[in-house]
């Protein structure tokens, strides 16, 4: 009896995520969780070292490999209140175009 199996291909060595993407990852990791970072990188058209779209797991792996700390949400929620855009503009002393805010 013969059995024909496909074996996983070895990844070529020497592939690296480009330096600009690593630099951006360092900045984003301080403010966002991995899934949000993956979305940002994908919207910018950035690819992994293997030419794939980013996933949260890939961002996590890259962060860990590069010793980039993960995002930690603040212990205390932000203070203040949510206001409609027109009221926010008024508080800030701004004038909104007519098409914004109804």
Angle between the N-to-C axes of helices 19-29 and 34-43, in degrees from 0 to 180, rounded to the nearest 10: 140
Mean pLDDT over all residues of the chain? 87
Over residues 46-65, mean pLDDT = 95
End-to-end CA distance of the chain: 74
pLDDT greater than 80 at residue 19: yes
Note the pLDDT of residue 1. Answer: 74
Using the predicted structure, report yes or no on whether residue 45 has a pLDDT greater than 90: yes
Q: Average pLDDT for residues 36-40, to the nearest whole number?
A: 97
């Amino acid at each position: 009896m013969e059995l024909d199996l496909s074996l996983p291909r070895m990844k070529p060595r020497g592939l690296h995520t480009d330096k600009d993407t690593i630099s951006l990852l360092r900045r984003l990791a301080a403010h966002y969780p991995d899934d949000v970072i993956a979305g940002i990188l994908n919207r910018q058209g950035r690819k992994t070292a293997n030419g794939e779209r980013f996933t949260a797991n890939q961002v996590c792996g890259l962060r860990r490999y590069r010793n980039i700390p993960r995002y930690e949400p603040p212990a205390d929620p932000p203070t203040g209140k949510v206001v409609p855009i027109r009221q926010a503009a008024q508080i800030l002393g701004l004038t909104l175009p007519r098409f914004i805010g109804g």
